[in-house]
Structures are given as C-alpha cells and as structure tokens.
C-alpha cells in the first residue's frame, strides 16, 4: 500500500517526468553528435531561409555563413547537453529524497528546455527565420511538443507553491 501511495503521488510524477525528460534530452544530444550532419543541415536551412516564401522584406534576416551556422549548432548541442545533465542531477536528487535540491534542479532543467524550444526554436527559428513557411525544414511541431512537456513539468513542480 505504501508503494501505491508513493507511485500515485505528485512527487513520483515529477520524478518520473524529470527522468523522462533527462533521458529524452540525453538522446537528443547523442543523436546530434552521432548524426551531426543531419541536424546541422536542418539548422543551416532554417538560418538560410532558403525554403521560405522568399520575401525581400524578410530575407535580409538570413544567415548563410558556414562558421555562424556551425557556431549556432554547436551552441544548441551544448545547451541540450547541459539541460540533460541538470535534469539527470535532478532525477538523482529526487531518488535520494533531497526534495529542495531536486526541485531547483528539475526547475532549472525545464526552464532551460523551455528557453531552447520556446525561445530558440519556436520564437527565433519559427518566427524570426520564418521556419513556419518551410515545407521541408519546419520543426515547429517537435519544438512545441518539447516546450509543452517542459512547461507541464514546471506547472506540476510549482503549482500551489510560493517560492
């Protein structure tokens, strides 16, 4: 009965979501490192805006410098890696029953995920670089899914708390 009470608790739900998002972010990093060229091409096309409607009123935003594209992609991978590590540390803290440390780490990891997928991919990639206009290089759906998972974690973690 104690196990059932714990498994059904908010703490268990947050612990599970922390673990799942840590695993997911770790796999994203692994994929970006082991299949570097695939997602590098994605970043390259989004920044180049070469599959958008091609309006001269917005095409000035495009970034085509190979060095800049590589720098952006490497920074994305590093941000994802740090996010994964913070969430893993949060999971370990939850499992060790260090609740305050776990809360701060999980919150930090999910805020990092929200910033990357909401700020980086949805706002900057989607709107500034008009990724929404591309049929081939539109990652808004995946970005939104990641944004929602992290936002849900933050809501679960902070609902009803005053800190």
- pLDDT score of 3: 64
Is residue 54 in some structural domain? yes
Question: pTM above 0.85?
Answer: yes
Tokens representing residue 27 in the block: 């796999």
- pLDDT score of 1: 63
- pLDDT score of 2: 74
125: confidence class by pLDDT, cuts 50, 70, 90: very high
Is residue 1 in some structural domain? no
Number of domains in the chain: 1
Is residue 5 in some structural domain? no
3-state SS, the chain, equals CHHHHHHCCHHHHHHHHHHHHHHHHHHHHHHHHHCHHHHHHHHHHHHHCCCCCCCCCCHHHCCCCHHHHHHHHHHHHHHHHHHHHHHHHHHHHHHCCCHHHHHHHHHHHHHHHHHHHHHHHHHHHHHHCCHHHCCCCCCHHHHHHHHHHHHHHHHHHHCCCCC
**163 has pLDDT over 70:** no
Is residue 131 in some structural domain? yes
- pLDDT score of 133: 97
Range of the domain at 23: 12-158
**What is the overall mean pLDDT for the chain?**
95
Is residue 17 in some structural domain? yes
Is residue 98 in some structural domain? yes
Is residue 4 in some structural domain? no
Do residues 109 and 142 lie in contact, with contact meaning Cβ atoms separated by under 8 Å? no
9: confidence class by pLDDT, cuts 50, 70, 90: confident
Is residue 6 in some structural domain? no
């Amino acid at each position: 009965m104690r196990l059932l009470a714990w498994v059904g608790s908010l703490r268990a739900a947050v612990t599970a979501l922390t673990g799942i998002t840590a695993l997911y972010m770790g796999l994203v990093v692994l994929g970006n490192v082991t299949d570097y060229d695939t997602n590098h091409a994605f970043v390259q096309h989004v920044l180049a805006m070469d599959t958008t409607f091609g309006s001269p009123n917005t095409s000035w935003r495009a970034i085509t410098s190979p060095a800049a594209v590589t720098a952006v992609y490497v920074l994305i991978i590093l941000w994802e890696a740090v996010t994964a590590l913070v969430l893993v540390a949060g999971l370990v803290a939850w499992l060790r029953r260090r609740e305050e440390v776990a809360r701060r780490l999980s919150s930090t990891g999910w805020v990092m995920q929200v910033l990357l997928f909401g700020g980086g991919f949805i706002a900057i990639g989607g709107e500034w670089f008009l990724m929404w206009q591309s049929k081939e290089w539109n990652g808004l759906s995946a970005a939104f899914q990641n944004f929602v998972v992290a936002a849900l974690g933050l809501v679960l973690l902070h609902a009803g708390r005053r800190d």
